[in-house]
Amino acid sequence: MAIPQIELYQVPSHIMLNRPALPWTPTPERAALLIHDMQNHFLKPYASQAFVDALVQRIQALRSTCHDLGIPVFYTAQPGNQQVESRGLLCDFWGPGLAEDGVSPGIVAGLAPDPQRDVMLVKHRYSAFARSDLLERLQLAGRDQLIICGVYAHIGCLTTATDAFMADIQPFVVADALGDFSLERHQLALEHMAHCSSVVLSTQQLLDALAPAQVAHDIPGDIARCLALPLERVAEMDDPVELGLDSVRLLMLFEQWQQAGLPVSFLELLERRSIRAWVQLIELRLQVQASGASV
């Protein structure tokens, strides 16, 4: 069957777990990023270009951070004009596959791999590990964590996460940096991965986990986004109350910062009526944590 037209849906950014969270944390020294099947052929069925643009932007943020932190970046892409013998049972499910027309096999605009830094893997089956040297490359680089984004969540991304788990590679699935056929399929894929193989988290949670020491510097940005204000105004005024940050919104921000691992209490935020003071306190705590001391 052909890939159906995919109608616009709201991408989920988290799921509710019915079991304790895994004690896995992505780190720059152990992780690799996989950008899965972000080819024109697989993105063409989306009825909403805005959906595709938002997906690309989230993956761009992941890739940029990984490049900055020295995290290896891998892409998968299916070749065009595959022979029936090579394509195998995929023909029965999805037909002949991609045409070699100069457009369909290409990576979507805005995500072209950097030939000097990124590795392109030829995709043959649902899993990025099938008939590829991805596992060998990860092992050679000393990487035992794989961050997964791209399309489609319930097919290749799920299968790749399962294969990673089976090879003792910790999968981290970025919920809102995936695309699927529908919200239902997307949600089911996340639940399956979370309960069987993976840590599921949002783009922002993943970025914060990779670079926690940089989070404090974005506190003004978080406040500006929460209040829908220009960042310049937040920087000028400093007083959160005068900016309109009431206790309800502050609690929402505190929960976000707590999930990101920032070492500060809600009471400490209330006691300090200064955004700069919040940043200074958190930066000090992070520096102390990095040194192994206590405060």
Q: What is the pLDDT of residue 290?
A: 59
**Which of 117-121, 200-204, 285-289 has the weakest average pLDDT?**
285-289
User: Which one is catalytic: 37, 118, 176, 218?
Assistant: 37
Among residues 36, 41, 124, 186, which one is catalytic?
A: 36
Lowest mean pLDDT among 19-23, 39-43, 45-49, 201-205: 19-23
Task: Mark whether 36 is an active-site residue.
Answer: yes
**99 and 51 Cβ atoms separated by less than 8 Å:** no
CB 100 within 8 A of CB 80: yes
- Tell me, yes or no, if 123 is annotated catalytic: yes
Quickly state the pLDDT bin for 225 (edges 50, 70, 90). Answer: confident
What tens digit of pLDDT does each residue of 111-120 get? 999 999 999 9
* Per-residue model confidence (pLDDT) at position 80: 64
Domain map (residue ranges) of the chain: 31-210, 213-290
Task: State yes or no: pLDDT of 90 exceeds 80.
Answer: no
The continuous run of DSSP H or E covering 174 comes out as strand 170-179
Comparing 60-69, 87-96, 236-245, the range with the smallest average pLDDT is 87-96
Which CATH number fits the domain 213-290, given the four candidates 3.40.50.1820, 3.40.50.720, 1.10.1200.10, 3.40.630.30?
Answer: 1.10.1200.10
Percent of the chain clearing pLDDT 70 (strictly above): 87
pLDDT of residue 146 exceeding 90:
yes
3.40.50.850, 3.40.50.300, 1.10.1740.110, 3.40.190.10: CATH of 31-210: 3.40.50.850
186 is known as an active-site residue: no
Which of 41, 118, 123, 163 is catalytic? The answer is: 123
State both tokens at 5: 């037209």
The answer to whether 31-210 and 213-290 have equal CATH topology is no
State mean pLDDT over 234-246: 90
